[in-house]
Amino acid sequence: MSDLGHVLVLAGGLSYEREVSLRSGRRVSEVLRATGIDVEARDTDASLVPSILADPPDAVFVTLHGGAGEDGAIRSVLELLNVPYVGADPDACRVAFDKPTAKAVVRSVGLRTPESVTLPKETFHDLGATVVLGRIVEHLGLPLFVKPARGGSALGASFVRTAEELPAAMVGCFAYGDTALIERYVEGVEVAVSVVDLGHGPVALPAVEIVPDEGVYDYAARYTAGHTEFFAPARLSAAAAAACAETAVTAHTALGLRDISRTDLIVDADGVPHFLEVNVAPGMTETSLLPMSAEAAGQDLGDLCRTLLQNAAARARAS
């Protein structure tokens, strides 16, 4: 049995990624119960704070994706309640959740990341969409990848092959956020590298290679079984795999993250990884990448989650 009395798994929320979050929460709850932990799963509604005040958990595992789950808001509330939790603190979350800011931080420590333009919806409209988009194509070239500056699960993201496809991609992006990140597309192998710190410093788990059936790792490809083929570990040379691991740990450290993260990369033809984005609350569903990485490393997901919770509780006791 665990030395943790009971733990709280937060899942759901009101972001566009609610359904994915609920699936992540169910998975984490199941694997923790299998290790003997008393688990309570809760949504983030008006009853949450009174419930925590009435019966404070030993630690919280946050499986909220997007919005308040990754922008630091919920974690700020947990800190106000003096409840320990797994993952990065609110300040680090705010930096990592904003993709353009995260790109600037990792670029400052020497990591490669695709050249990009960040464009708020107001600028897009006020300055004239046709003129602005034309300049973007001239500056970045084609193809491009468009995605919301904040958010995840590839919602609102589009691969743009021609200049004619860019306006529709921008409209689709703005449906999920007020700011678009337009990146130069880097041809290569898409991989995800999870980083965990079980008490001895951040360590990269084996990279997972992502091969979507339709060529683009969109929402359907991520969360529909059979739409994407995964290879764990990724089919990379030893040198490229090591470079990916180093990149993910460097990003995790530079962004001030804690306990757990997942960095998405493109590995080009020369074996060089290019940073795309980082996730402070990685998906934990049956088709998510961190559980695949843990399995490839020979780690039991329940034991991993339990250790993270124990470390969070110990961190709180020591502070």
- Residues assigned a catalytic role: 17, 153, 223, 262, 264, 277, 279, 283
* DSSP reduced 3-state for 150: strand
Give the count of beta carbons closer than 10 Å to the beta carbon of residue 306.
23
Q: What is d(CA 275, CA 265) in angstroms, rounded to the nearest whole number?
A: 5
Burial of 201 (0-12, 13-18, 19+ CB in 10 A): exposed
Identity of the residue numbered 131: V
Q: Which residue has the tokens 């703005």?
A: 174
Pair 71, 93: CB distance under 8 Å: yes
What phi, psi does 224 have (nearest 5°)? -115, 115
What is the token pair recorded at 258?
Answer: 């804690």
Q: What is d(CA 133, CA 306) in angstroms, rounded to the nearest whole number?
A: 48
What phi, psi does 234 have (nearest 5°)? -60, 150
What is the token pair recorded at 54?
Answer: 């009435």
The DSSP code for 280 is S
261: closest CA among 271, 272, 250?
Answer: 250
